[in-house]
Structure 1
Amino acid sequence: MTPRPRWPALLLLLLLAGLAAFALFAPGRSAPAETSREVTFVRGMIQHHAQAVDMATRIRDRSRDRTLRSLALDIILSQQEQIGQMRGWLTLWNRPWAGAGMDAEHARMMGMATPTEVASLDTLPEARAEVTFLQLMRRHHQGALAMVRPVLDQPARPEVQALARQINATQSAEIRVMDSLLKQRGASPLPTPGGADQMPGMDMGSDSHDMPMH
């Protein structure tokens, strides 16, 4: 059998490489600086998403509620995909994935759960774990909505703004689902993360520091 020519595949690879180089080095499209709004936002959101995936995986492994399991799976799949996308950007921008590390107060201001709160999802009785997950994830989503605002309200690379819009729409809708599930269980949401409307360190201008990572 005559081998099939590989030229189409090679041409496709060359085209993709050319498009990536154009995106990075075309006028006005150079890789963002280490302290840029884009790098800061992406690093912070990777960390934020990672905890959401962790919490969603824990409750999906325990809960028997179909709606809650579906919500958890949606969070796992969508946020894992976005983590991969953001890590890809950092690689293309020649920036390391990790920053300097986030202290407990900054994490709290972003709506993130403490290690003890996350671990409780494995040890609480199932019904209580479901309520705790919904409360923690709702607060977590509120932190994410605050994180996207500077990218949506100020100049940033269009692909990063597109992701911020996607996060804003998806997590706003998921908050409404969580509100309904909490109401069904006779439970109330946790208070909005402290300073979520104006988080210190979330001004992602060119002089801002990197969003630290765990």
Structure 2
Amino acid sequence: MISAVSGGTADAADGAGRPPGVSSPDAGFARDMAVHHQQAVEMSFIVRDRTQDEAVRSLAYDIANTQANQRGMLLGWLDLWGLPKVTPADPPMSWMGGSTDSADSMAGMDMPSTDGHSPDTHAMGGAVTKPGALMPGMATKEELAQLGTLQGRDAEVLYLQLMTDHHKGGVAMALGCAKLCRTPAEQKLAQGMAEAQQSELALMADMLHKRGAAPRP
């Protein structure tokens, strides 16, 4: 992975050795997931200062470091491809093209349920974005502000709920890239993101349960 960012053109191009186009799924995923990851890092730093619970602080630390590193890789690929990091002509998620392919892929990956029911893979694969949020799973400015006002258990619960939503959106996006992207190194990174965040979804569901709470509907 690192070689692709630092100049390994074979890993950072499609099977024919061509860099992705500006509106390709490869470029769109890199741009969107970099933004998506940045908010996860921000939320994790917020909760770190709002609780002394070691389990939550450890999870937040892991998420912040992992996603900051992955964000650097995604932005590095865009630089390597000579592509802009912001494209006003291409709205967020437009690279998925309204496709349900990511939902179909997710359905086959045994997505862990976080509320005792089967996950709504079509809703996630369809890239549902709530009002006031930029992309699927992302928190609104009001939710981030609320997190910054809480302490202790209340901060822990809201963080875990927000991050659960965030991961669900991230998994749908990552599976979309694994299906649609043509850069092998990026496909591999996206698949790894999906699998790691699925594991963290199960962990966060258990952490919420221990605090007498549950993921938001």
Measured against the shorter chain, the TM-score band is 0.7 to 0.9
Q: 1:49 aligns with which of 37, 40, 45?
A: 37
- Deviation of 1:25 after TM superposition, in Å, equals 7.5
Aligned counterparts of 1:95 and 1:130: Cα–Cα separation in 2:
38
Counterpart position of 1:163: 189
CA deviation vs aligned residue, 1:8-49 (integer Å, no higher than 9, x gap): xxxxxxx99x96355567971211001101001111100100
> After the TM superposition, which residues 1-214 of structure 1 pair with which residues of structure 2 at under 5 Å, given as runs?
20-21=8-9, 28-100=16-88, 105=131, 107=133, 110-154=136-180, 156-191=182-217
Shift of 1:109: 5.5
Paired AA for residue 128 in structure 1: D
Q: Which structure 2 segments of 5+ residues have no match?
A: 93-128
Rg comparison, structure with higher value: 1
- The letter of the residue matching 2:35 is Q
* C-alpha contact 1:23 1:30 (8 A) present in aligned 2: no
Q: Percent identity, please.
A: 38
Deviations 1:192-212 (A, max 9, x none): xxxxxxxxxxxxxxxxxxxxx
Contact 1:138 1:178 in 2 (8 A): yes
Which has the larger share of helix?
1
Deviation at 1:127, TM superposition (A): 1.6
Equivalent position SS for 1:62: coil
> What SS does the aligned partner of 2:57 have?
helix
Letter matched to residue 85 of structure 1: M
Residue 154 of structure 1 deviates from its aligned partner by 3.4
1:118 partner amino acid: L
AA aligned opposite 2:70: Q
